[in-house]
Amino acid sequence: MSTDDPTPRIPEIFEAIDTGTASDPSLPRDESARVTVDGEPVELAAGATVLDAIQKVKPDSLPALCQYDHPDIGPRSECRTCVVGTDSHGIVPSCSYPAKDGMAVQIDDPRAVEARSVNLDLVLGNHNLRCTTCGKNGRCELQDTAIDEAVETPRYGVFDDRSAYEPIDDTSSFIQIDRNKCILCNRCVEACNDIQVEGVLRMEGSGADTRIGFQSGAETMEESTCVSCGHCVTVCPTGALVEKGFEDATTIPLPGFTQKNSVGSVIEASDRRRRPVTPAKRDELAKSTDELDSGTGSPDQGHAGDGEDGVPDVDPWGGGA
Amino acid sequence: MLPKYFYVGLPRADYDRRPRVTENLVTTDPIIRISAGAPTPFIADVDDGAVPLIGVGSTGISQIEPLAIATTGDTTVFYPQCSPTAVADLSRRLAAGDDATNQAEWVVRHQPQPRRLPIPTEGPLAVGSRDILGLCGWLRPTAGDDYRAAMGFTEPDRIDVQSQLTGLQGRGWGDIATDIPLTDIWRDIQEQSDDPVLVVNAHSNQTDHLLLESIPLAVLDGARVTAGAINATEIIIYTSDTADMPLQHTKAAIAELPRGPPVTTATGPTEYRAGEPTMALEALEGVSRIEARRRPPSPAEVGLNERPTAIHTPRTLVQLLATIHSPDRQPTRLLRYTGDVAAPAVVELPETATLEDGLGAVAPTGPIKAAAVGGQFGGFTADLDIQAHPGALGDADLGTDGRVEILTTDRCVVAEIGRRARTASETNCGRCVPCREGTTQLVGLLRAVYDGEVQAEKIQELCRVMDTTSLCAFGVQAARSVRTGLAGFQSEFTAHANGTCPAGVCYHTTVPENHRVSS
């Protein structure tokens, strides 16, 4: 890296990031509020949400599946398992609704109770519930919630159509993706982009095809620009993103069943040698290789998919093979 | 004499080359107007120069177009679905001073030089009122002089918003003031410190497209008034990228506007969801994937590029304009009758009129069984004796997005509802659980009807939750179609569960019960 230019290049990195998610407005931070939760008064600082109020009075009384306690993550407000009743604004998602002065919150408003239950079941209905072969068994927020809420039989069943399962992406040496367990809470995308500023993960598709994908357009984790920082795994509430080596750490040993074969197809690592994926690193490598290697062409040509070294034909910043 | 040219179908560049209008259509006498929603190139072929023959915007009633409207002095005659030879003949007769009334479909007597389309006493043009639509089919859409003569541009700063617009509500799902007073939204905007921006959302509604196509200057005039009321420093007209004519006419009309805040146009993807106000903002900010934004705060507080943003439909803006011009008027509703009709029609009804009253403007293709009322996911009803007022529509669980989709008796309501649910499951943005997963489960529950199970309570429960907890109006509307269909047509659901489709539409009607394919 040149020392002549002291200006960090971070803004350009931000410009290149395309998370596929909406530019949500920030929550207002202007006024403190005094509200009641099930009749109990709560004093709140400016910028507090209805969920903040509830946490003060009745901590952990709501599923709030997609909510995550970090200023740079969320509120995504997508799962709607935190909705409560209010006297002034009807049913509101507590995780993202600003607490307004004088508001009376009812956790057990019958419409809210019904909605939390239905929405939790809707999440479970599109989740591979083979907990016994899941590496997050026993440390899964969705499992914990289902237990807390005493869900025995989700009303829409569970996602158990093997032909419709997406293959497990086991191509990375460090992180495994099982999209059949993803609840699309978007925490990983925010951790990857807003905290680590890596620009790897994104939300893609729409409707039932909505999924976590890669900004480079790559199909697998191995071919993506992931630097294996692991922040996405840290924030993932379910077994959708798991550290390699832990993917079957908590599975129950049953003869013939493994974490992988319980889902069906698996995309395995190609075992191809990889070059650094970040442009800066690649340039560094290009320089050092040039110095070492006298004139057989730049390594970047090799990177562009000549197949000789098995490097995939993907331009990590250019949007796809 | 007016220059011989016609506006319709001209490529963009020709707008700039056209001769400057020195006169307007209102004071031109005699004159033959040809009203059509599509280019009518035959005008050039039959124009003999004797009587001005001018293309004007569509009236909104496609069934009678191309419509020749000939005005001399105090008489206007109408020739619906006119042929080139009929127009040529009409032109000759008018030039010779002959009586043009004897072969006309409708004849209207009026004061000379009317500023609006004279309304016949019968036929589809007589349906409802033409308070706003009266300009449609009367003016060249992009001629500033025509608009000046008929309406006159409104001076934005002479409007007392609070007293003149009290209670006026936004129109359509693309409006952030839908079914609530505009002034409520404007108050939120005025409380912000940043420069507000006005987005005119003409994305996906066909009536909004008609307004931009036929009377874009009225929409733009309304937009200027609104911008003045909220101190907006910029106006953006947003349409879908397939709305060619509305966009073309809007662009040409912008050039005719008096001095004011800058007006630009922008397009978004064609998908229905891109007309939802926050998704419209996403599209305007140029994102690669369109999903709804979390609210609150609303776009009025934090909108386009974080500026306070008013998002109104053209229907709202022309309504506002009409109210400013005649403060004592009763608000009207623009409804588009479509579906099983010979040709769709846009009708203007007083809010006290019923949906039935608008039927005269269309020719249903068979006996009417039901109508889906609202937007893409309208509420189903067999009863059209319901007022066009949003309160009455709400009481009947129908939508206010101005679309009345007629379904004749050979339609199967269960199949229609299933199709809408499937569309909703395939075209939602994918963000929130009640809409993304809820529509998927709704499709499954509706499919189960064909397997003999009407799980009415389960369907109603899911619809309730989609209604109360969806992040935007998309999920709310998708639930409405299913909920109202189930409530109003229970016997059809039961029949399907028993293996028969009363309309004879669904595939399994001829399949013996033991051969029935589960879907």
pLDDT tens-digit readout, B403-459: 999 999 999 999 999 999 999 999 999 999 999 999 999 999 999 999 998 999 999
Tens of pLDDT along chain A (321 residues) come to 444 555 555 555 556 789 999 999 998 887 899 999 999 999 999 999 999 999 999 998 999 999 998 989 989 999 999 999 999 999 999 999 999 999 999 999 999 999 999 999 999 999 988 888 899 999 999 999 999 999 999 999 888 777 788 999 999 999 999 999 999 999 999 999 999 999 999 999 999 999 999 999 999 999 999 999 999 999 999 999 999 999 888 888 778 888 888 777 889 888 766 666 566 666 666 666 555 544 444 444 434 434 444 444 444 334 433
Share of chain B above pLDDT 90, in %: 77
| Cα atoms found within 13 Å of the Cα of residue A3, Cβ hemisphere only | 0
For chain A, helix (H) and strand (E) counts, in that order, are 8, 11
Q: Which amino acid is located at B44 in the chain?
A: A
The sign one gets for the Cα dihedral A243, A246, A252, A255 is positive
A123 → closest Cβ in B291, B295, B437: B437
* 3-class SS of residue A171: coil
- DSSP strand pairing (B235-240 vs B197-202): parallel
**Residue B478 C-alpha, separation from nearest chain A C-alpha, in angstroms:** 13
Residues of B with CB below 8 A from A83's CB? 468-469
Which one of B281, B284, B289, B293 makes the best mutation probe of the A interface by having the most chain A beta carbons within 10 Å? B289
* Cα B59 to Cα B214: distance, rounded to the nearest angstrom: 8
User: If contacts are CB pairs under 8 Å, which of residues 147-166 in chain A contact chain B?
Assistant: 155-156
Average pLDDT, chain B: 90
Return the bridge partners of B283, or none: none
Mean pLDDT of B481-486: 96
User: Residue B96 — very low, low, confident or very high, per pLDDT cuts 50/70/90?
Assistant: confident
Residue B29 has pLDDT above 80, yes or no: yes
3-state helix, strand, coil in chain B (%, to 5): 40, 15, 45
Backbone phi and psi for residue A94, each to the nearest 5 degrees, phi listed first: -65, -30
* Pair B373, B385: CB distance under 8 Å: no
Q: Do β-strands A83-86 and A90-93 pair in parallel, antiparallel, or remain unpaired?
A: antiparallel
Substitution target in B468, B470, B472, B518 with the highest count of A β-carbons within 10 Å is: B468
A contacts of B440 (beta carbons < 8 Å): 125-126, 208
Count CB neighbours of B97 within 10 A: 9
Contact A80 B285 (CB under 8 A): no
Q: Which residue, among A130, A128, A126, A73, has the nearest Cα to A96 in the 3D structure?
A: A73
Considering all CA atoms of chain A, what is the largest pairwise distance in Å, rounded to the nearest integer? 78
Mark residue B269 as left, alpha or beta (left: phi above 0; alpha: psi -120 to 50; beta: remaining): beta
Q: Is B443 on the interface with A (CB under 8 A)?
A: no
Count interface pairs A-B at CB distance under 8 A. 131
A308's tokens = 């000789």
Question: Chain A 47-76, CB below 8 Å of chain B: which residues?
Answer: 75-76
ipTM: 0.89
Query: Chain B within 8 Å of A81 (Cβ-Cβ)?
Result: yes
Q: Tell me, yes or no, if B453 comes closer than 8 A to chain A by beta carbon.
A: no
Separation between Cα atoms, residue A181 and residue A139, nearest integer Å? 14
Q: Which of A128, A123, A221 is nearest to A166 (CA)?
A: A128
CB contact under 8 A, A122 and B434: yes
Closest CB from B291, B302, B465 relative to A21: B291
Q: Are the beta carbons of B244 and B251 closer than 8 angstroms?
A: no
B294·A77 Cβ contact <8 A: yes
| pLDDT at position B275 over 80 | yes
Tell me how far apart the alpha carbons of residues B189 and B303 are, in angstroms, rounded to a whole number: 10
Q: Where are the alpha helices (DSSP H) in B346-412?
A: 390-395
pLDDT of residue A221: 94
Rg of chain A (C-alpha set): 23
Across the interface, do B441 and A203 touch by the CB < 8 Å criterion? Answer: no
In sequence order, which ranges of A34-181 are alpha helices (DSSP H)? Answer: 50-57, 110-125, 141-148
- Interchain contact, A22 vs B439, CB within 8 Å: no
CA distance B278 to chain A (A): 9
pLDDT in the model for residue A15: 64
pLDDT tops 90 at residue B267: yes
CA neighbor of B516 nearest in space, from B453, B445, B423, B457: B453
Query: What's residue B517's pLDDT?
Result: 45
CA dihedral sign of residues B245, B246, B251, B255: positive
- Number of helical H runs and strand E runs in chain B: 17, 14
Name the strand (E) or helix (H) holding B419.
helix B413-427
pLDDT computed for residue B23 by the predictor: 78
What pLDDT shows up at residue A321?
34
Q: Backbone phi, then psi, for B181, in 5-degree steps?
A: -60, 135
pTM above 0.90, yes or no: no
**Is the pLDDT reported for residue B73 higher than 60?**
yes
Q: Which residues of A, range 240-269, sit inside 8 Å of B by Cβ? A: none
According to the model, what pLDDT value does residue B51 have? 85
Q: A54-60 long-range CB contacts below 8 Å, 24 or more apart?
A: A54/A84, A54/A94, A54/A105, A54/A107, A58/A107, A60/A148
Indicate yes or no: CB of B461 within 8 angstroms of CB of A125: no
Residue with tokens 């539409």: B505
Interface contact flag, A80 B437, Cβ < 8 Å: no
Residue of A nearest to B291 (CA): A22
Contacts of B421 in chain A (CB under 8 A): none
In 3-state terms, what secondary structure has residue A215? coil
Q: Can you tell me the distance from the alpha carbon of B383 to that of B370, in angstroms, rounded to the nearest whole number?
A: 7
Q: Does B302 touch chain A (CB under 8 A)?
A: yes
What pLDDT is attached to residue B261?
Answer: 93
CA angle A273, A278, A281 (to 5 degrees): 80
Categorise residue B405: left if φ over 0, alpha if ψ from -120 to 50, beta otherwise.
Answer: beta
Quick: pLDDT tens for B111-146: 999 999 999 999 999 999 999 999 999 999 999 999
Report DSSP state, residue B293. Answer: P
**Torsion angles phi and psi, residue A211, rounded to 5:** -155, 165
Q: What does the longest C-alpha to C-alpha distance in chain B come to?
A: 77
pLDDT at site A133: 87
- Shortest distance between the Cα of A33 and any Cα of chain B, in A, equals 16
* pLDDT mean over B103-112: 94
Two tokens at B162?
Answer: 């609070």
For residues B281, B283, B287, B289, the Cα torsion angle rounded to the nearest 10 degrees is 110
| Residue B502 predicted with pLDDT over 60 | yes
Under an 8 A CB cutoff, do B437 and A210 touch?
A: no
Give the span between the Cα atoms of A244 and B65, in whole angstroms. Answer: 68
Mean pLDDT of B53-73: 93
Would you call B434 an interface residue with chain A, using a CB distance cutoff of 8 Å? Answer: yes
φ and ψ of A91, to 5 deg? -80, 125
Query: Reduced to 3 states, what is the DSSP secondary structure of residue A177?
Result: strand
Instruction: Identify the residue with better confidence: B41 or A118.
Output: A118
Cβ contact A115–B469 (<8 Å): yes
Q: Please give the helix or strand (H or E) that residue B216 lies within, else none.
A: helix B216-230
- With residue B458 as reference, give the H or E element that holds it: helix B456-469
DSSP string, A111-150: HHHHHHHHHHHHHHHTS---GGG-TTTTS-HHHHHHHHTT
Supply the angle between the helices A110-125 and A141-148 in degrees, to the nearest 10.
140
